[in-house]
């Protein structure tokens, strides 16, 4: 099968609405050489979707968890066309020093996004970096600057922008004016996803480099709740449920409605119910993102009942002519004053990609969105255009969520000056736009 035929077959599951308005000029020449930094759960999900849609060659994998790294290397060898096992590294700097990668995927914990991403574009690679792009706002600003300075394409893993049924909802409902004037948007998550329990701290396992895993974050003792996958429940490594889940829905709404930066951000909440867990992120939080003539209001609870069992994580857009409910599983448009409701379910593409049925830990309903996101990245690598989830868009959504947490910590509304990249009239808030780095790591805003 030649290259073009391969790509056509790989993209066979794309619906017309999912690529509407996008020029899919896929790269010519030899297969792109790919490296992955962070070979855990979502690193493998992202990388294996890329392998599904393009004849890339995965040549390098990096992780500080030796056991996780070896498992990923074996899986990649079994899935890529060459059958070759990638080289493995425990230090991303050594991997990037080879300067032989066209594309670098970054799927580390959030506190390890900024430094590898900047190093990857400095090494000449285009990048796919998971959301949120950073743990503080100054990191994000440095990441955008690095991408622009080195002329690299950087796609952020906010793949709602590439989800077929959500693209259809934007095109068919929002853009056609079926909602009329939009007066309010609610975004929310009611998953019971905050870590529970209070196990004792222990020595790290011998296959994990805990010092390097911690990196620029504050050092704390190893705990089984943190690694693997539990680190999101600890503020040392991310920005809680807002940084993890709100960023997706806020980004989706901004994309659908053409919104830029919020003008003001306010937030309340805290640890109100689940007080006995070792986790230190809020179990309850509300945030208001004021876009001037529209408020987008976030709410999460990691306890209790969801408002609508069909939409435990999603968005509701209220218009004068109807209401649009959106999630990763589908959408519902409910018109006011008569008319026919519209419902769509997620597209799974299991017939085109049967391995999705058996892949360990894969969110099957998200796999099509990741594939489409990867195809958009590949197209922009060829054209050198900005991808649909360009690093600047990822920065806006990420920073907005960080501002919500900062507003909660400070107990006041923050006014954001997008042009200057700072909080207006609030020295204390501006001092917190960069988190202190643990030595010997140097914050990218000062390097």
Query: What domains can you pick out in the chain, each with its CATH number?
Result: 3-161+366-390 (3.40.50.720), 163-208+225-348+395-431 (3.30.360.10)
* pLDDT higher than 50, residue 16: no
Over residues 434-439, the mean pLDDT reads 98
Per-residue pLDDT at 4: 37
Per-residue pLDDT at 17: 31
* pLDDT higher than 60, residue 305: yes
The mean predicted confidence, pLDDT, of the chain is 94
Per-residue pLDDT at 24: 65
Per-residue pLDDT at 22: 54
- The angle that helices 41-53 and 3-10 make with each other, rounded to 10 degrees, is 120
Per-residue pLDDT tens for 258-287? 999 999 999 999 999 999 999 999 999 999
* pLDDT higher than 90, residue 109: yes
Dihedral angle, C-alpha 22, 28, 31, 35, nearest 10 °: -50
Over residues 290-298, the mean pLDDT reads 98
Question: Which residues, including other chains, have CB under 8 Å from residue 295's CB and lie 6 or more apart?
Answer: 184, 185, 288, 289
* pLDDT higher than 60, residue 114: yes
SS3 call for 36: strand
Looking at the chain, the whole-number percentage of residues with pLDDT higher than 90 is 92
CA distance 164 to 14: 8
Per-residue pLDDT tens for 319-357? 999 999 999 999 999 999 888 999 999 999 999 999 999
Per-residue pLDDT tens for 138-191? 999 999 999 999 999 999 999 999 999 999 999 999 999 999 999 999 999 999
Per-residue pLDDT at 403: 98
Question: Which residues, including other chains, have CB under 8 Å from residue 376's CB and lie 6 or more apart?
Answer: 22, 24, 155, 162, 387, 388, 389
Least confident window among 14-23, 218-227, 285-294, 379-388 = 14-23
CA distance 102 to 79: 19
Band of pLDDT at residue 27, cut at 50, 70 and 90? confident
Per-residue pLDDT at 275: 97
Looking at the chain, the whole-number percentage of residues with pLDDT higher than 70 is 94
Over residues 237-244, the mean pLDDT reads 98
Taking CA atoms, 329 is separated from 22, 152, 192, 263, in Å, by: 23, 33, 18, 31
Structure tokens at 225: 């709740």
Per-residue pLDDT at 28: 78
Per-residue pLDDT tens for 187-224? 999 999 999 999 999 999 999 999 999 999 999 999 99
- Centroid of chain to Cα 270: 23
* pLDDT higher than 60, residue 15: no
- Write the DSSP assignment of 390-403 as a string of letters: BHHHHHHHHHHHHH
Per-residue pLDDT at 29: 83
* pLDDT higher than 60, residue 7: no
Per-residue pLDDT at 6: 38
Per-residue pLDDT at 404: 98
């Amino acid at each position: 099968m030649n290259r073009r035929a391969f790509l056509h077959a790989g993209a066979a599951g794309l619906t017309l609405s999912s690529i509407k308005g996008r020029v899919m000029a896929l790269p010519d020449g030899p297969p792109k050489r790919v490296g992955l930094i962070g070979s855990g759960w979502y690193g493998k999900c992202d990388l294996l979707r890329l392998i599904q849609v393009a004849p890339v060659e995965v040549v390098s994998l990096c992780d500080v968890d030796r056991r996780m790294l070896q498992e990923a290397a074996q899986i990649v060898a079994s899935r890529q066309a060459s059958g070759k096992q990638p080289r493995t590294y425990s230090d991303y700097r050594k991997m990037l020093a080879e300067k032989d990668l066209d594309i670098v995927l970054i799927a580390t914990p959030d506190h390890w996004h900024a430094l590898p991403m900047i190093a990857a574009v400095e090494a000449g690679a285009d990048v796919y970096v998971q959301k949120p792009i950073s743990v503080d706002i100054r990191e994000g600003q440095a990441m955008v600057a690095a991408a622009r300075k080195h002329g690299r394409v950087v796609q952020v893993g906010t793949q709602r922008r590439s989800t077929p049924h959500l693209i259809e909802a934007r095109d068919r409902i929002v853009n056609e004016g079926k909602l009329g004037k939009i007066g309010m948007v609610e975004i929310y998550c009611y998953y019971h996803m905050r870590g529970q329990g209070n196990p004792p701290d222990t020595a790290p396992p011998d296959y994990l480099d805990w010092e390097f895993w911690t990196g620029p974050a504050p050092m704390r003792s190893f705990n089984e709740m943190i690694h693997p996958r539990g680190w999101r429940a600890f503020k040392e490594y991310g920005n809680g449920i807002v940084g993890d889940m709100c960023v997706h829905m806020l980004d989706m709404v901004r994309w659908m409605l053409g919104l830029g930066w919020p003008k003001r951000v306010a937030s309340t909440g805290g640890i109100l119910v689940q007080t006995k867990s070792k986790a230190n992120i809020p179990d309850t939080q509300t945030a208001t993102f004021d876009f001037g003539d529209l408020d987008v209001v976030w709410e999460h609870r990691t306890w209790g009942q969801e408002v609508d069992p069909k939409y435990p994580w999603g968005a509701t857009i209220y218009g004068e002519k109807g209401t649009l409910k959106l999630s990763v599983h589908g959408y519902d448009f409910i018109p006011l004053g008569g008319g026919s409701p519209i419902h769509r379910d997620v597209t799974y593409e299991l017939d085109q990609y049967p391995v999705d049925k058996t892949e360990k830990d894969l969110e099957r309903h998200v796999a099509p969105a990741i594939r489409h996101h990867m195809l958009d990245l590949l197209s922009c690598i060829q054209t050198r255009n900005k991808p649909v989830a360009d690093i600047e868009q990822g920065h806006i959504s990420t920073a907005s969520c960080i501002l919500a947490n900062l507003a909660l910590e400070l107990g006041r509304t923050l006014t954001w000056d997008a042009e200057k990249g700072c909080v207006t009239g609030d020295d204390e808030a501006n001092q917190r736009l960069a988190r202190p780095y643990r030595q010997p790591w140097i914050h990218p805003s000062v390097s």
